[in-house]
Amino acid sequence: MRVLIVEDERKLAQVLSSALEAEHYDVVVAATGEDGFYRANAELFDLVVLDLMLPGRSGLEILQTLRQRHVETPVLILTARDGVEDRVLGLDRGADDYLVKPFALPELLARIRALLRRGRSSEILRLKVANLEMDLVARRVVRGDRAIDLTGREFELLEYLLRHQGSLVSREMLARDVWKEPRRATPLDNVIDVQMARLRRKVDLDGAARLIHTVRGVGFVVREGEP
Ligand code: CA
């Protein structure tokens, strides 16, 4: 599997490329938007990891032009933490998935595997469990015919749970991948529990089958039916 990484931060590009090489991917790194565009356009890749903040030609421009030229290689975009707008624009312009910086390498590798399994499809931009559906582009959540209004953090939390549905999600995973504060002085457990309780009140209303389950002392799992 051939992967193109378009990333101007040299250190990050190096870390990514060694992690991917360790998983036996064939990796090409482009350090500028120009080079990234040229290669993605001229060579064949199974996947492109595309940073959006690049000097010269931006990630969004590259993505848009590639799609206009019918280059259908799956693209995973890397966005800044506060770049919600970029994320939405990126998905709108044909990205297949996104990760917010900083991210943990295991999460990146899992996303890459998922994308390579599915190939190009919009499936990944909609997450579903039972009658709950998340649209990552429009940032809308519905359960049955009821729209659910979530805060930014609640949305990220639910998205993470749905991406890992059926598997146990620990508080450590949430601290690392959603809060992105793995080395905080005070534990995040209380914050996580409070947010989770709020999310659950919105998602699992009285009468509806429960989707967010607590596994005592360990974490949470999203699934249809009891774990
Ligand atoms: Ca950058």
Q: What is the DSSP letter of 81?
A: T
Distance of CA 35 from the midpoint of ligand 1 (Å) = 14
pLDDT at 41 over 90: no
Task: Give the helix/strand (H/E) hosting 87.
Answer: helix 84-92
Does 99 share its domain with 62? yes
Distance of CA 29 from the midpoint of ligand 1 (Å) = 13
Asked whether the beta carbons of 105 and 49 are under 8 A apart, the reply is no
Lowest mean pLDDT among 29-38, 80-89, 160-169: 80-89
Distance (Å, whole) CA 213 – CA 70: 42
pLDDT of 29 reads: 97
Boundaries of domain holding 25 = 2-119
pLDDT of 188 reads: 83
213 beta partners: 221
Q: Of the residues 96, 119, 142, which one is the last residue of a structural domain? A: 119
Task: Give the helix/strand (H/E) hosting 98.
Answer: strand 97-100
pLDDT at 120 over 70: no
Ligand 1 ion: nearby residues, β-carbon < 5 Å: 8, 51, 53
pLDDT at 51 over 90: yes
- For the full predicted model, state whether its pTM sits above 0.85: no
Q: Does some domain include residue 227?
A: no
Q: Does some domain include residue 94?
A: yes
Does 109 share its domain with 8? yes
Q: What are 32's two structure tokens?
A: 């500028």
Distance (Å, whole) CA 42 – CA 29: 14
Does 62 share its domain with 131? no
Does 13 share its domain with 102? yes
Q: What are 210's two structure tokens?
A: 């429960």
Asked whether the beta carbons of 171 and 189 are under 8 A apart, the reply is yes
**Average pLDDT, integer, range 147-173:** 94
Residues 6+ apart with CB under 8 A from 28: 2, 3, 4, 5, 39, 43, 45
pLDDT of 152 reads: 92
**Residue of 18 and 217 predicted with greater confidence:** 18
Instruction: From residue 83, give the alpha-carbon distance in Å to each of 88, 123, 152, 166.
Output: 9, 23, 12, 29
Residue type at position 127: L
**Average pLDDT, integer, range 119-132:** 79
Angle at 205 between CA 194 and CA 150, to 5 degrees: 55
Distance of CA 58 from the midpoint of ligand 1 (Å) = 9
- Going by C-alpha positions, the residue among 12, 140, 139 that lies closest to residue 80 is 12
Does 106 share its domain with 152? no
**Average pLDDT, integer, range 20-47:** 94
Q: Of the residues 119, 134, 166, which one is the last residue of a structural domain? A: 119
Distance of CA 9 from the midpoint of ligand 1 (Å) = 6
Whole-angstrom distance between the N-terminal and C-terminal Cα of the chain? 36
Distance (Å, whole) CA 227 – CA 225: 6
The number of folded domains in the chain is 2
Distance of CA 79 from the midpoint of ligand 1 (Å) = 9
pLDDT of 227 reads: 63
Q: What are 46's two structure tokens?
A: 């199974």
Distance of CA 53 from the midpoint of ligand 1 (Å) = 4
Distance of CA 84 from the midpoint of ligand 1 (Å) = 16
Does 94 share its domain with 8? yes
pLDDT of 185 reads: 64
**Average pLDDT, integer, range 180-201:** 84
Does 203 share its domain with 96? no
pLDDT digit string (tens) for 201-216?
999 986 778 999 999 9
| Summary mean pLDDT of the chain | 90
> What is 135-176 written as a DSSP string?
ETTTTEEEETTEEE---HHHHHHHHHHHHTTTS-EEHHHHHH
pLDDT at 14 over 90: yes
Distance of CA 108 from the midpoint of ligand 1 (Å) = 16
Does 114 share its domain with 132? no
pLDDT of 119 reads: 66
Distance of CA 199 from the midpoint of ligand 1 (Å) = 33
